[in-house]
C-alpha cells in the first residue's frame, strides 16, 4: 500500500508515499450495459457531447452532472491515466513535479505546464484555486473508502464545489471483491469513456492489445524460469517496508500471472494488512532472488540505499544486481501498465537464483 511523502506512519500516509503498498457488484452497475446492437465499436465510443452525465464510482456512489464534465480536476495519477485515453484535465492535486521542476513519475505523459497544480504534496490542496477553475467534477483514486489526496481538513469545502468520483486503486470494491490491476484498468477506461474518450480509437485499442500481450509475456516468463522469489519493498531512512501481494492491486494481478512473491508473516502486517515494517537491522528477514523497490521520488532509491544502509547492500538480490523498480501507484491506462508488465517479464526471464 503506498505511503505519503509527509506522513509515513498513518494508514493513509503509508498508502501515499512508499511501502507496501472497484469493480462494484456487476459491470452493468458500473455503466457497462451500452454495447447495444451496434457492437463493440459503438460501446467504446465516448460519452455524448450533450445530455446528462452520470458515473457510478467505486465508493458505490452515482455521480451526476447536467452534461459531460469539461472542467475536470483530478488526482495526478488519475489525470495521467485520463490523459493517455485522450481526456485533458484543468487542474491536478498530488505529486506532479519534483524539486527541480521536472514531472513527477506519477504525472506520466502529461504536460504539467498546461495544468493548474493545486497541491504537490500530501495534505496540500488550494481550495481557492480549485474554486477559480469552476470545476465540473473532481476525480481521484480510492484505496480505503476515502477520496485519495483530498485533505481531511478541507474535504467538506472541496466536495461542496463540484461532484466527486473515486475509482479503486487498491483494497476492495463495495462488493468486497479485491481491486486488481486488470479491474482497475477497466474502471479507469470506463471513467475515461464517460468523460468523452474514444476507447475504439487506434491508439486506445492498440494500447489494450499491448497490455494483453504483455500479460502473456509475464505468464511465459514465470513458466520458463520457475522458482524465482520476488520481494516487494520500500525504503525510508528509518524502516524497510515489505509488501504483501494479497492487498495490492498490481501485486495480486502479477501473482495471478505466476509471479512468486515472498510475503511477510500475516500476524506482522500493519493494521490495514498491507505491509510489515522492518528495522534496517532486520532488512534481510525475507531472502529473495529479486527485489521490486518503490520507484517514487520520495522514497530511497537503490544507489542511496546501497550507500546508506549496509544491510540492504548485503541482501542476496542486491549483490546479484537484481533490484528492479516497482511502480507502487500505477497510472491505470493500458499504455502505462503494458510497460510495467513488459519490464517485469524481462526481469523474471533473466533473473538467477540468489536468495
Mean pLDDT of successive 10-residue stretches along the chain, which has 355 residues: 43 42 33 39 59 95 97 98 98 95 94 97 96 98 94 97 96 93 98 98 98 98 97 94 91 97 90 87 95 88 92 95 94 98 97 88
- Burial class from Cβ neighbours inside 10 Å (0-12, 13-18, 19+) for residue 343 reads middle
Neighbours of 208 (CB within 10 A): 19
Q: In this predicted structure, what is the pLDDT of residue 230?
A: 98
Reported as type and span, the H/E element at residue 123 is none
Q: In this predicted structure, what is the pLDDT of residue 300?
A: 87
Q: In this predicted structure, what is the pLDDT of residue 355?
A: 60
Cβ contacts of residue 105 below 8 Å, gap of 6+? 95, 295, 296, 297, 327
Nine cell digits for residue 348: 523474471
Cα end-to-end distance, the chain, whole Å? 24
Nine cell digits for residue 229: 522469489
Return the SS3 of 74.
strand
Q: In this predicted structure, what is the pLDDT of residue 45?
A: 64
Q: Are the C-beta atoms of residues 247 and 167 closer than 8 Å to each other? A: no
Strands 164-168 and 137-142, how do they pair? Answer: parallel
Q: In this predicted structure, what is the pLDDT of residue 269?
A: 86
Q: Are the C-beta atoms of residues 107 and 97 closer than 8 Å to each other? A: yes
Whole-model pTM: value is 0.85
Distance CA 86, CA 158 (A): 26
Q: In this predicted structure, what is the pLDDT of residue 271?
A: 75
Q: Find cell 505529486 and name the residue.
A: 95
Q: In this predicted structure, what is the pLDDT of residue 46?
A: 63
In Å, how far are 36, 251, 313, 333 from 196, measured between CA atoms?
18, 30, 48, 15
Amino acid at each position: 500500500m503506498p505511503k505519503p511523502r509527509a506522513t509515513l506512519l498513518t494508514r493513509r500516509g503509508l498508502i501515499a508515499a512508499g511501502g507496501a503498498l472497484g469493480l462494484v457488484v456487476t459491470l452493468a452497475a458500473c455503466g457497462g450495459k451500452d454495447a447495444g446492437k451496434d457492437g463493440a465499436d459503438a460501446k467504446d465510443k465516448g460519452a455524448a457531447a450533450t445530455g446528462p452525465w452520470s458515473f457510478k464510482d467505486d465508493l458505490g456512489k452515482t455521480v451526476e452532472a447536467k452534461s459531460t464534465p469539461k472542467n475536470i480536476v483530478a488526482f495526478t495519477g488519475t489525470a495521467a491515466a485520463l490523459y493517455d485515453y485522450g481526456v485533458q484535465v484543468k487542474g491536478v492535486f498530488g505529486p506532479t513535479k519534483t524539486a527541480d521542476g521536472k514531472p513527477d513519475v506519477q504525472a506520466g505523459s502529461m504536460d504539467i505546464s498546461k495544468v493548474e497544480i493545486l497541491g504537490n504534496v500530501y495534505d496540500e490542496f488550494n481550495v481557492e484555486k480549485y474554486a477559480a477553475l469552476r470545476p465540473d467534477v473532481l476525480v481521484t483514486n480510492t484505496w480505503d473508502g476515502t477520496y485519495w489526496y483530498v485533505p481531511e481538513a478541507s474535504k467538506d469545502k472541496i466536495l461542496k464545489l463540484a461532484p466527486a468520483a473515486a475509482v479503486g486503486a487498491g483494497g476492495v470494491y463495495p462488493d468486497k471483491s479485491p481491486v486488481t490491476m486488470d479491474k482497475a484498468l477497466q474502471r479507469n477506461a470506463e471513467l475515461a469513456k464517460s468523460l468523452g474518450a474514444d476507447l475504439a480509437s487506434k491508439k486506445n485499442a492498440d494500447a489494450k492489445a499491448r497490455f494483453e500481450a504483455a500479460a502473456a509475456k509475464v505468464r511465459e516468463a514465470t513458466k520458463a524460469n520457475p522458482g524465482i522469489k520476488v520481494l516487494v519493498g520500500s525504503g525510508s531512512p528509518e524502516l524497510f517496508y515489505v509488501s504483501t501481494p494479497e492487498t495490492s492491486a498490481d501485486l495480486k494481478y502479477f501473482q495471478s500471472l505466476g509471479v512468486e512473491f515472498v510475503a511477510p508473516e500475516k500476524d506482522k502486517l500493519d493494521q490495514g494488512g498491507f505491509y510489515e515494517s522492518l528495522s534496517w537491522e532486520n532488512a534481510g528477514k525475507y531472502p529473495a532472488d529479486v527485489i521490486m523497490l518503490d520507484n517514487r521520488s520520495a522514497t530511497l532509491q537503490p544507489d542511496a540505499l546501497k550507500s546508506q544502509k549496509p544491510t540492504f547492500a548485503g541482501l542476496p538480490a542486491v549483490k546479484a544486481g537484481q533490484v528492479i523498480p516497482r511502480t507502487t501507484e500505477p497510472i491505470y491506462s493500458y499504455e502505462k501498465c503494458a510497460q510495467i508488465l513488459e519490464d517485469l517479464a524481462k526481469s523474471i526471464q533473466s533473473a538467477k537464483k540468489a536468495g
